[in-house]
């Protein structure tokens, strides 16, 4: 069957086409936007029967277009009451018959399944590095300090952020206390969530030893923070 009007398939497996291409085939003389507005008055609903699209144009304003479903296109063709309208409607009826044939139904199902497989494979590839890291950390009960974590995420994920910048990032994100005697200590809410722990340490001074603490990132915290850092660095790469 010769393709009079270009059609495609949306994510729901429905036939769609350009409103402008249908308009041009029907040889309508009324400006497109006015014509389409009139057609919409026959009870067609945006988001259900069509969606609005803006086409890029060279040197001028973007032009309005629409992706319309096959049922809407058939009704519009019938409304035109012209030879072109009749030709378009007959074409759509043949297209619908072919589209619903057993062979096409099977083909669409196989195409859909193949797309899902490819999407899953791409997702697995994207997540694999983090997943492997998560498995290693999850089976370890050991907490590490911020400097060791900075080295770990660089070695495992290529996130280039040293100890001091990581501390600054943790303070800015609200994980660590920003100032005072407890600066760089984890906030209590994140300790309770199991992301951090505070390891007591003794600082020796001439006037006497004082007790302090070292912020340690737990296995759970390493997984959580790695996820957040990966997302943030991905956004930064896209922005650049």
At 121 the pLDDT is: 66
At 86 the pLDDT is: 92
In SS3 terms, the chain reads as CCCCCCEEECCCCCEEEEHHHHHHHCCCCCCHHHHHHHHHCCCCCECCCEEEEEECCCCCCCEEEEEEEHHHHHHHHHHHCCHHHHHHHHHHHHHHHHHCCHHHHHHHHHHHHHHHHHHHHHHHHHHHHHHHHHHHHHCCCCCEEHHHHHHHHHHHHCCCCCHHHHHHHHHHCCCECCCCCCCCCECHHHHHCCCEEEEEEEECCCCCCEEEEEEEECHHHHHHHHHHHHHHHHHHHHHC
At 139 the pLDDT is: 43
Task: Name the phi and psi angles at 77, rounded to 5.
Answer: -60, -40
In SS3 terms, 120-173 reads as HHHHHHHHHHHHHHHHHHHCCCCCEEHHHHHHHHHHHHCCCCCHHHHHHHHHHC
What is the largest distance, in Å, between two alpha-carbon atoms of the chain? Answer: 101
What is the percent of the chain with per-residue pLDDT over 70, rounded to a whole number? 77
At 34 the pLDDT is: 94
- The residue ranges of every structural domain in the chain are 7-100, 136-239
CB of 218 closer than 8 Å to CB of 194:
yes
At 99 the pLDDT is: 79
Instruction: Identify the segments of the chain with pLDDT beneath 70.
Output: 1, 57-60, 104-105, 107-109, 112-113, 120-142, 202-211, 235-240
At 207 the pLDDT is: 64
At 140 the pLDDT is: 47
At 73 the pLDDT is: 93
């Amino acid at each position: 069957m010769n393709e009079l009007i270009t059609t495609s398939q949306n994510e729901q497996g429905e036939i769609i086409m350009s409103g402008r291409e249908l308009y041009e085939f029907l040889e309508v003389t009324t400006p497109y936007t006015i014509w389409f507005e009139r057609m919409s008055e026959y009870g067609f609903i945006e988001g259900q029967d069509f969606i609005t699209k803006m086409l890029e144009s060279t040197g001028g304003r973007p032009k309005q277009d629409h992706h319309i479903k096959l049922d809407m296109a058939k009704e519009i063709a019938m409304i035109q009451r012209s030879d072109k309208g009749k030709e378009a409607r007959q074409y759509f009826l043949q297209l619908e018959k072919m589209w619903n044939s057993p062979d096409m139904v099977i083909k669409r199902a196989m195409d859909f399944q193949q797309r899902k497989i490819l999407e899953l494979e791409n997702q697995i590839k994207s997540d694999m590095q983090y997943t492997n890291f998560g498995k290693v950390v999850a089976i370890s009960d050991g907490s590490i300090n911020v400097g060791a974590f900075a080295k770990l995420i660089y070695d495992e994920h290529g996130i280039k952020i040293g100890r001091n910048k990581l501390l600054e990032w943790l303070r800015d994100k609200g994980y660590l206390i920003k100032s005072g005697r407890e600066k760089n200590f984890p906030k209590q809410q994140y300790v309770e969530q199991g992301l951090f722990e505070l390891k007591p340490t003794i600082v020796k001074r001439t006037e006497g030893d004082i007790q302090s603490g070292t912020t340690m990132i737990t296995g759970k915290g390493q997984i959580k923070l790695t996820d957040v850092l990966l997302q943030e660095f991905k956004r930064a790469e896209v922005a650049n």
